[in-house]
Amino acid sequence: MTPATPAPYYADVSPGTGTLPPRAWTAASSAARLSLNGGWRFRLAPTATAEDDSFADPAYDATGWAELSVPGHWVLQGHGSPAYTNVRYPFPVDPPRVPDENPTGDHRHVFDLPAGWPRTG
């Protein structure tokens, strides 16, 4: 601070004032990792009650399901329609009652753990 650059006469409380610039960072870890990115089987139901949990069975046949890229959002991959909330809320707000029409997606992905994968968490 010099006479040419005096301190401001007000407290600057704007977001980000006095912070370091953002930068990418990932915590170093020696924990085993397995990426589940890729193609997953997917089905979309018009309501949450239309489906059951039978697809969790390892022997379940999901060959008739669509394929969805993960990570991703089903609406951006041709399933259902986006809910834009800048005009009006997309469904009635009446907690705790959930609307009957509540699109629900089921995801399924089968994978094998690599040899030598740790047996403990």
| DSSP state for residue 56 in the 8-state scheme | G
Q: Is residue 70 part of a domain?
A: yes
Q: According to the model, what pLDDT value does residue 1 have?
A: 61
- Report the C-alpha gap between 114 and 32 in whole angstroms: 10
The answer to whether the beta carbons of residues 61 and 70 sit under 8 Å apart is: no
Q: Is residue 8 part of a domain?
A: no
pLDDT digits (tens, 9 = 90+) for 17-71: 778 888 888 788 888 889 999 999 999 998 888 778 899 999 999 999 999 999 9
What's the number of domains the chain is made of?
1
pTM above 0.95, yes or no: no
Q: What's the full length of the chain, in residues?
A: 121
Q: How many CA atoms lie within 13 A of 10 on its CB side?
A: 3
Range of the domain at 53: 38-108
The answer to whether the beta carbons of residues 43 and 66 sit under 8 Å apart is: yes
Q: Is residue 31 part of a domain?
A: no
pLDDT digits (tens, 9 = 90+) for 89-112: 777 788 888 788 888 899 999 999
